[in-house]
Amino acid sequence: MSQKYIGGFITKSPVAPTSSAASGMWTIDQAMQLKLQGNWPSPPPAIGDAYQGGFFAGQIGVGGVATHNLVIGPVASAQSTLAWKNANTATAGADSVINGPQNTADMVADGNSTVYPCAHFCNNLVTGGQTDWYMPSKNELDVCYYNLKPTTTLNATNSGINANAVPARASNYTTGTPAQTTAAAFVTSTGAEAFIATNYWSSTEYSATDAERQGFSNGAQYYYQKAFTSFRVRAIRRVAV
């Protein structure tokens, strides 16, 4: 005998639990056993909270289901102003809109820090007790902007679709959404960890000559010539949910 319950069913007989993520309908027995085993995922921290060597910036995933928490590195050690590359040549593999770690690894494998200043800066970073920092991909950087927008500037409305955001976004930004972040440390002029209201490089290559960037003043996303153009870059890391 069982009775429907919000999030699952109340059942009299125990049900063998699994260690899979709690993303569907679960019985109370399953939930309790998973929690006791340490397999029930903890809720994410608040946006902007100190977390895992940096600050929680939101989640990424597939189909709106979270797979990873994103961690922004501290501004004092994880941010710089550098060129994406020193030549207008293609980089094999560095074109993912979601896999920042792989993009970064492809660039690091292809050339030294003179060739790929941004990627090596992020890859070599050791801060907050962590060593797995990388250069964020286009969709990861968008999540950072959406959740940690530093200003009250109206958004560009021709950017913002992100299938890897949580929840996924099928429409562009509106002028008012996203709004300025409520995380005090990330507000321009008052927050010590705030993004600068300017362009940030992503690790996503658009073409042999251009790479994707994210504006942190109004959210505009577009590609820009990567050779010798210095924009801000800020390292992130990801933690599996």
What mean pLDDT do residues 46-70 have?
A: 96
Surface-to-core class of residue 67, CB atoms within 10 Å of its CB (0-12 exposed, 13-18 middle, 19+ buried): middle
The helix (run of H) or strand (run of E) holding residue 214 is strand 210-215
In this prediction, residue 7 carries a pLDDT of 39
What mean pLDDT do residues 155-180 have?
A: 97
Instruction: Specify the higher pLDDT residue, 66 or 21.
Output: 66
Residue 204 predicted with pLDDT over 50 = yes
In this prediction, residue 26 carries a pLDDT of 54
> Could you give the C-alpha distances from 85 to 112, 115, 213, 229, in angstroms and in order?
10, 5, 13, 8
In this prediction, residue 190 carries a pLDDT of 86
Sheet holding 8-11, edge to edge: 2-5, 8-11, 26-27
The helix (run of H) or strand (run of E) holding residue 120 is helix 117-123
In this prediction, residue 21 carries a pLDDT of 41
- Span 69-88, pLDDT tens digits: 999 999 999 999 999 999 99
Taking a C-beta distance cutoff of 8 angstroms, is the pair 23, 38 a contact? no
Residue 40 predicted with pLDDT over 70 = no
The helix (run of H) or strand (run of E) holding residue 57 is strand 54-62
In this prediction, residue 35 carries a pLDDT of 63
Residue 184 predicted with pLDDT over 50 = yes
Residue 20 predicted with pLDDT over 50 = no
Residue 211 predicted with pLDDT over 90 = yes
Residue 142 predicted with pLDDT over 90 = yes
**pTM for the structure as a whole:** 0.85
pLDDT band for position 189 (50/70/90)?
confident
